[in-house]
Chain A
């Protein structure tokens, strides 16, 4: 099943990527080549096969609910594009 230009634009919107028509067209043919490859896997009969999400069968560890990190927000915010009073600034979202 091949993707359409509309699919590429919809997915780009979901992925928060700006993409113009020319770029979408170029990427469409490459992505469809990849999906042709992926198609080989879709034909396989996997009835009764458990999906494998991880290499090893391990369960998530639990730990004591205690503080393990110190406050380093000033250090971590040194690389932020825009901050004020310890808060990250973005364009206004509520009128």
Chain B
């Protein structure tokens, strides 16, 4: 059961081969056996999950089933789910039970999906390795001494270890795509504004975007059909007609123009990664696609721009954690100011504090123009590079991450090295473009490599079609980590 895709599980549920309760129980049993090893989940509530599964079985019996009815889905612990502990990987929210559902959670509930549990993540989504979690680092199912990527590392590792057929994630600078790549699965960051941010704990509001993780492009499309859509409660949600994200599955890629930016293949990327990505591009050529060499000259400025904008927005968003209305409060304090300081110093981890300090500095009196305003202007240049590129190609391809999974602890002491992991993923966030990562091979150590695809605004369905065509011709996406059968 656990090796099956969402698509085939849905068919089995519809045919009554097994029930959602049986399916959910199967995954809960797997999690109970393996979560100690991988630490994918922060919170499990089997009773609540099985209650949803029973309701899903009734929906299916009554003929009210939808494509995701009865399918267990792991929820990144950044999404509020009513009655569930929602920690965002932080001590600050270690006692926070969400009083309402995020839009994404609500939509999945309405579709009859089962919430399998809340997945581990970098604290407040600030990280590229899932090591900054207050609840301990997530381990990569391909090699438990390696990180699974981050910040949606718990979701990615859960899907890779066959502890969940699909999961939700969020992507501010690569937090869906990079863990998908390092964990050997598929992940999609939609166009900014396609998935509602309501109930999704804010990190950098102008960049944050929710999206799905799964083991095939087809499954991502099924998840997108439920997760995407207009929501009045998110002021940046886009009011567009509903889309069927499966509509391009099965379409040929003949004549497709693939843009290959030279910056994606420059010296920073590991040779094994470049080799796997180039082989994937060759496969697309074999399938009839054409390639176009191009340049995104300002791409190299993405990481510096991001580390002004994201911390600035984070310092403002995280000001709400003051120990007054909800969440952690320091046990001892003298006056109100002391309560704030002690609560925030004890409740936040080192990486969060570092980013709050950077963000506060760049927004402080006298520095705004030199940092925040300048970063917004360079952001405009980066977006313009993409606009130029899409005049010459339909989709851009390159590596998702410059390397495969690295050792736990390896980059924790050097923030800049950690930040440079996201050099290929951050540009799409800055421009607001959709980005996708799919498995495309392995390095010499047997660790998975991700192929990244960046499309023009609202090109998700086309990108999923292109990825699906690749997955029909190759079997990288079906490979399981060693020891997982």
User: Known interface pairs A33-B415, A34-B307. Does A40 touch B301 (Cβ–Cβ under 8 Å)?
Assistant: yes
User: Known interface pairs A15-B356, A79-B97. Does A54 touch B206 (Cβ–Cβ under 8 Å)?
Assistant: yes
Stretch binding the partner chain, chosen from B101-109, B215-223, B374-382: B374-382
Q: Count A-side interface residues using an 8 Å CB cutoff.
A: 52
Q: Which residues of B from 296 to 321 have beta carbons under 8 Å from A? A: 298, 300-301, 303-305, 307-308, 315, 319
Stretch binding the partner chain, chosen from B53-61, B328-336, B462-470, B475-483: B328-336
**Are A33 and B416 in touch, CB under 8 angstroms?**
yes
**Are B304 and A37 in touch, CB under 8 angstroms?**
yes
Interface flags, B213-256, vs A, CB<8A=1, else 0: 00000000000000000001001101100000000000000000
User: Known interface pairs A46-B377, A79-B99. Does A39 touch B304 (Cβ–Cβ under 8 Å)?
Assistant: yes
Q: Which A residues lie within 8 Å of B374 (CB)?
A: 41-42, 44, 46
Q: Which B residues lie within 8 Å of A63 (CB)?
A: 232
**Are B339 and A90 in touch, CB under 8 angstroms?**
yes
Instruction: Write the nearest CB–CB distance from A21 to chain B, whole angstroms.
Output: 14
**Are A44 and B381 in touch, CB under 8 angstroms?**
yes
The answer to whether B457 has its CB under 8 Å from any CB of chain A is yes
Interface flags, A65-95, vs B, CB<8A=1, else 0: 0000000100111111110000010111100
Cα–Cα distance between A54 and B340 once the two chains are bound (Å): 31
The answer to whether B370 has its CB under 8 Å from any CB of chain A is yes
**Are A37 and B380 in touch, CB under 8 angstroms?**
no
The answer to whether B30 has its CB under 8 Å from any CB of chain A is no
Nearest B residue to A75 via CB reads B99
Q: Which A residues lie within 8 Å of B373 (CB)?
A: 51
Q: Which B residues lie within 8 Å of A36 (CB)?
A: 416
**Are A18 and B432 in touch, CB under 8 angstroms?**
no
Interface flags, B361-401, vs A, CB<8A=1, else 0: 10010000011011111111101000000000000000000
**Are B357 and A27 in touch, CB under 8 angstroms?**
yes
Cα–Cα distance between A60 and B193 once the two chains are bound (Å): 13
Nearest B residue to A12 via CB reads B357
Q: Which B residues lie within 8 Å of A35 (CB)?
A: 358
SS class of chain B's interface: helix, strand, loop or mixed? Answer: helix
User: Known interface pairs A14-B360, A46-B381. Does A41 touch B304 (Cβ–Cβ under 8 Å)?
Assistant: yes
User: Known interface pairs A12-B357, A18-B345. Does A51 touch B377 (Cβ–Cβ under 8 Å)?
Assistant: yes
Nearest A residue to B372 via CB reads A51
**Are B324 and A27 in touch, CB under 8 angstroms?**
no
**Are B304 and A38 in touch, CB under 8 angstroms?**
yes
Nearest B residue to A83 via CB reads B325
**Are B364 and A91 in touch, CB under 8 angstroms?**
no
Cα–Cα distance between A11 and B280 once the two chains are bound (Å): 47
User: Known interface pairs A18-B345, A88-B325. Does A55 touch B192 (Cβ–Cβ under 8 Å)?
Assistant: yes
**Are B329 and A17 in touch, CB under 8 angstroms?**
no
**Are A58 and B238 in touch, CB under 8 angstroms?**
yes
Cα–Cα distance between A18 and B322 once the two chains are bound (Å): 13
**Are A93 and B336 in touch, CB under 8 angstroms?**
yes
**Most central of A34, A50, A72, A77 by chain B CB within 10 Å:** A34
Which of B340, B344, B361, B415 contacts A7 (CB under 8 A)? Answer: B361
**Are B324 and A55 in touch, CB under 8 angstroms?**
no
The answer to whether B136 has its CB under 8 Å from any CB of chain A is no
Nearest B residue to A48 via CB reads B377
Cα–Cα distance between A72 and B82 once the two chains are bound (Å): 13
**Are B353 and A40 in touch, CB under 8 angstroms?**
no
**Are B336 and A56 in touch, CB under 8 angstroms?**
no
**Are A16 and B376 in touch, CB under 8 angstroms?**
no
User: Known interface pairs A17-B353, A27-B354, A81-B329. Does A55 touch B193 (Cβ–Cβ under 8 Å)?
Assistant: yes
**Are A15 and B357 in touch, CB under 8 angstroms?**
yes
The answer to whether A3 has its CB under 8 Å from any CB of chain B is yes
Cα–Cα distance between A33 and B307 once the two chains are bound (Å): 12
The answer to whether B18 has its CB under 8 Å from any CB of chain A is no
Instruction: Write the nearest CB–CB distance from B348 to chain A, whole angstroms.
Output: 8
The answer to whether A52 has its CB under 8 Å from any CB of chain B is yes
Cα–Cα distance between A77 and B381 once the two chains are bound (Å): 45
**20 sample A-B contacts, Cβ–Cβ < 8 Å, listed by A number:** A15-B315, A15-B344, A15-B360, A17-B345, A27-B353, A31-B357, A31-B361, A33-B414, A34-B416, A36-B416, A42-B370, A42-B371, A44-B378, A53-B206, A54-B432, A55-B193, A63-B232, A79-B99, A91-B334, A91-B339
Q: Which residues of B approach A to under 8 Å, CB–CB?
A: 95-97, 99, 191-193, 206, 232, 235-236, 238-239, 298, 300-301, 303-305, 307-308, 315, 319, 322-327, 329, 333-342, 344-345, 348, 353-354, 356-358, 360-361, 364, 370-371, 373-381, 383, 414-416, 419, 430-433, 457
Q: A27-B353, A58-B193 are in contact. List 6 more A-B contacts (CB 8 A).
A: A39-B304, A44-B298, A44-B378, A79-B327, A80-B324, A80-B325
